[in-house]
Amino acid sequence: MQEKPQAKYLKDYQPPSHTVSHLDLSFDLQPTNTKVISIAHYDAISDTTDLRLDGIDLKLLTLKVNGKAHTQYEQSQSHLLLTELPSSFDLEISTEISPSTNTSLEGLYQSAGAYCTQCEAEGFRKITYFLDRPDVLTTYDVKIVADKSIPYLLSNGNKIEDGVTEDGRHYAKWQDPFKKPSYLFALVAGDFDVLKDEFITQSGRAVELALFVDKGNLDKAPHAVESLKRAMAWDESRFNLEYDLDIYMIVAVDFFNMGAMENKGLNVFNSACVLANQQTATDRDYHTIESIVGHEYFHNWTGNRVTCRDWFQLSLKEGLTVFRDQEFSSDLGSRGLNRIDAVMAMRAHQFTEDAGPMAHSIRPQKVIEMNNFYTVTVYNKGAEVIRMMHSLLGEQGFQKGMKLYVDRHDGQAVTCDDFVNAMQDASGVELTQFKRWYEQVGTPTIEVVTSFDPTKQTFIIELTQHRATNDPVVEPLHIPFALELLGPDGEILPLICDSREVSKILNVTNEHHQFVFEGFEQEPVPVLLEDFSAPCIIQYNYKLEQLIHIIQYASSDYARWEAMQQAFSQEVFAEVNKFDGHITHTLNPKLMAVLKQLLTERNGDIALIAELMSLPNFDALSAGFTQVPVNALVKVIKDFKHDIAVSLTDALKTAYVSAKEQGELSHDGVSARALKNTCLYYLAYVADEDIEGWVETQSLSENMTLKLGALKAATAADLSCTGALMENFDAAWRHDLLVMDKWFSLQATIDSNSTIDNLYGLYNHPCFDKSNPNRVRALVGSFARSNPAQFHREDGAGYKLLGDLLIELNGLNPQNASRMVTPFMSWKKFDKTRQELMKAQLQRLADLTNLSDDLYEKVEKALS
């Protein structure tokens, strides 16, 4: 391995040496030699005469202090150290950068010709020398000069001037009245189609909305704009937060490392998270777009107006904003289904991260490459921590806390403690112990033992919290533990302790707690940790009958789904123990009967029934094993699907035929399509003539949810029509790369011994491009994540495919490489043979002479 990159520690935080009162930026855009002039006014905070600025890959042209050339400086790979400075001065720096060769998609780069920026976390230093840290806030004036062939020149804030230059080019000037840290700076220049709209705020101000998309894509823009208007209205009604500028712009670009970025007044989005119409996008895509548009919009208050003091506090804005976008989706759609999504992400990804070498607290203590910490832990567990505070304070207390937080800290860069303090001060709820969640590492376990005393008619619940082995927190956590008790007829029983009815949120603050509930003639069925009220693992020996009781009667949709998942998992675990490679595994008939009943009665939310019918996936099930039994797990899951298909063929067929999808985006339409697809997916395993015909007919649908549902069913069950359907799709959609991503994903998830060769071949498909993160994720990401049988092949060919790709991505796009390495991080969870094979791929990376900091941090942790 090369020289070790340096880690930064939260405990070493120091305030900046200078404040910046204003920044003037000017850009002369050229593909390989863009000139950037930055003029800033600096004031020293202490009596220092030095200023150390961040800067990477910059060619320094000139440097002036108070208008005069300054020669007292040293340049290094990552910094510019200025010495012998006065305490207050203007600094003018001109530098040159090359956007067209910047494949890292960080800083200023070109996406299919358009110029755009990505500065969070530390990309601004690839644009100019600056104090590139979130606690240096200032106002910006930006001038952009470019050829007239690039009509739109955009930056943050309001446009104050435009015109032509003497040499026949043109320019625009933008002014952002709000102070911001450099990570929220944005510039976009390109030729787009624009969808314009307007939003009138609650105080009556008109805000211009503009969505910029690639030419020819206007028909896919309305859903994002409608989502934005819904988000703006929701933030006013639920949080009383109103938008502050006169214009809100969103630009969709094809080359982007993540979903989107909340730059002040000028969001930049991955086009995959914007563009949708019924022919090209699934119902799931529609939902994702609405939630990401909301998320970026909500950052305007939680992230932009109040930002982070340092990057260790990232969850301050991300955990809170994920919580807000989850609430937005839940208020507008189904709360139960949204909760199910959130918990699935926690179980399948966050618990896995916690169990691996990258485990960290929601406020990490040590970081080498900040981009590595935009994780499910910081985001999703961070949101669960905010949700726990919401449970403890209630909606009213929480809103009071939010108001105090914003009033106290508007325009500031603050810490997670500042947020919790505001919540505590506004509500009067003591949160000192609760703060331990910010230090806590790993997934806590709660062991539950219950006992029923028929003579005293009491039901006793004993809870013991166990922390993960790598958890530095030595004292117990404050856990809001939600509980529901169900009576024999499914009725919800009151929780009576010492003759008084108590709240369903139990405050668990000690290592060990005993709760004695009174007044039961028969033993109740406990719904434990209802709604996943804390990000913990519950250990409790549920009997199948109890789970079935919960599936039938629990008051929350989430709890019913959770019980179903538990029941499925228990059955899978039991069968995995019997695995010998030859027996055919079948689902417990009692559980099969429940599925049949759900399917036949179709009571309540149809979309929920589709969820209830779905087996937990490989990742979610893997989390339950210390060593993942790959072959057994793959076989049992497949056998169960087959068994459900064969045992319930008639009920599945009836449900399939009677699910009528009315209305493009109505909840009923979405639900009907979800159930139809679930039924067809199972039925494909039976594959009689009817069903092959249904798959083929559905694949011709003009609706992408249905079309893709048909192809998924065909590829999963390996129907004879699969090849032809895939060819038709390819021929029909080559003009739309986002749609082709769905096809690449399908190719990657086919469980066939020829898949790996096929994937190497697809690198040459005219639509494939390794420098585009969407394509890479669609093809190789889907393979590693969703094709366990082939990825974990015992000859190591799956691991080699990923290893080969990572070596290329390391040079091309370190951030993408680092995200794609995730499947290797859990190598210790597999058997010896697979461990050795995965480790060998990690070692190939470790041996690279140009290993990026991004990969270094993960590879080093994985191997140590």
Q: Indicate whether 116 belongs to the interface with ligand B3K (CB under 6 A).
A: no
The CA distance from 561 to 343, in Å, is 11
- Span interacting with ligand B3K, options 78-86, 202-210, 295-303, 742-750, rule CB under 6 A: 295-303
Nearest to 649 by CA among 609, 695, 687, 602: 687
Q: What 3-state class would DSSP assign to 432?
A: coil
Site for ligand B3K in 305-324 (CB under 6 A): 318
Q: Which is nearer to Zn ion, 321 or 678 (CB)?
A: 321
Q: Indicate whether 266 belongs to the interface with ligand B3K (CB under 6 A).
A: no
Q: Which is nearer to Zn ion, 419 or 459 (CB)?
A: 419
Q: Which residues contact 496 (CB under 8 A, 6 or more apart)?
A: 502, 517, 518, 519
Phi, psi (degrees; rounded to nearest 5) at 163:
175, -170
Q: Which is nearer to Zn ion, 280 or 338 (CB)?
A: 338
The item of ligand B3K, Zn ion, none sharing an interface with residue 120, based on CB under 5 to 8 Å by kind, is: ligand B3K
The DSSP letter of residue 379 is I
Q: How far is the CB of 311 from Zn ion (least distance, A)?
A: 13
Q: How far is the CB of 838 from ligand B3K (least distance, A)?
A: 25
The item of ligand B3K, Zn ion, none sharing an interface with residue 121, based on CB under 5 to 8 Å by kind, is: ligand B3K
Q: How far is the CB of 327 from Zn ion (least distance, A)?
A: 14
Nearest to 268 by CA among 256, 257, 260: 260
Helix boundaries (H) for 766-831:
773-776, 782-786, 788-791, 797-812, 814-820, 822-825
Q: How far is the CB of 315 from ligand B3K (least distance, A)?
A: 11
Q: What 3-state class would DSSP assign to 396?
A: helix
Binding-residue pattern over the window 527 to 566 for ligand B3K, x denoting contact by CB under 6 A: ----------------------------------------
Nearest to 137 by CA among 13, 15, 3, 320: 15
Q: Indicate whether 120 belongs to the interface with ligand B3K (CB under 6 A).
A: yes
263: which 2 tokens?
Answer: 């730059």
- Span interacting with ligand B3K, options 60-68, 294-302, 335-343, 598-606, rule CB under 6 A: 294-302
Q: Indicate whether 124 belongs to the interface with ligand B3K (CB under 6 A).
A: no
- Span interacting with ligand B3K, options 228-236, 256-264, 387-395, 774-782, rule CB under 6 A: 256-264
Nearest to 279 by CA among 224, 228, 220, 217: 220
Interior/surface letters 260-295, b for 16+ CB within 10 angstroms, e for the rest: bbbbbbbbbbbbbbbbbebebbbbebbbbbbbbbbb
User: Sheet harboring 114-118: ordered strands across?
Assistant: 107-111, 114-118, 187-190, 152-155
The item of ligand B3K, Zn ion, none sharing an interface with residue 750, based on CB under 5 to 8 Å by kind, is: none
DSSP codes, 344-366: HHIIIIIHHHHHSTT---SS-SE
Q: How far is the CB of 291 from ligand B3K (least distance, A)?
A: 11
Site for Zn ion in 318-337 (CB under 5 A): 318, 321
Q: Indicate whether 611 belongs to the interface with ligand B3K (CB under 6 A).
A: no
The number of residues in the chain equals 864
- CA angle in degrees (0–180, nearest 5) for 200-206-212: 95
- Span interacting with ligand B3K, options 44-52, 132-140, 259-267, 505-513, rule CB under 6 A: 259-267
The CA distance from 184 to 303, in Å, is 9
Site for Zn ion in 263-322 (CB under 5 A): 318, 321
Q: Which is nearer to ligand B3K, 374 or 694 (CB)?
A: 374
Q: How far is the CB of 56 from ligand B3K (least distance, A)?
A: 15
Distance of CA 581 to the CA centre of its chain: 37
| Residue from the set 214, 290, 296, 327 that interacts with ligand B3K by CB under 6 A | 296
Q: Which is nearer to ligand B3K, 261 or 776 (CB)?
A: 261
Site for ligand B3K in 323-382 (CB under 6 A): 371, 374
The item of Zn ion, ligand B3K, none sharing an interface with residue 258, based on CB under 5 to 8 Å by kind, is: ligand B3K
Active-site hit among 106, 120, 296, 318: 296
Q: How far is the CB of 2 from ligand B3K (least distance, A)?
A: 23
Q: Do residues 375 and 356 lie in contact, with contact meaning Cβ atoms separated by under 8 Å?
A: no
| Residue from the set 258, 320, 392, 527 that interacts with ligand B3K by CB under 6 A | 258
- CA distances to 42, 79, 362, 771, 834 from 52, in Å: 12, 7, 29, 33, 47
Q: How far is the CB of 732 from Zn ion (least distance, A)?
A: 35
Cis amide leading into 186 (omega within 30): no
Q: Is 296 a catalytic residue?
A: yes
Q: Which is nearer to Zn ion, 304 or 647 (CB)?
A: 304
Work out the number of other CB atoms within 10 angstroms of the CB of residue 648: 22
| Residue from the set 262, 471, 562, 857 that interacts with ligand B3K by CB under 6 A | 262
The CA distance from 744 to 735, in Å, is 14
| Residue from the set 126, 295, 478, 785 that interacts with ligand B3K by CB under 6 A | 295
Q: How many residues bind ligand B3K (CB under 6 A)?
A: 12
Q: Interface with ligand B3K by CB under 6 A: which residues?
A: 120-121, 258, 260-262, 295-296, 299, 318, 371, 374
Instruction: Tell me which residues are annotated as active site.
Output: 296
Q: Interface with Zn ion by CB under 5 A: which residues?
A: 318, 321
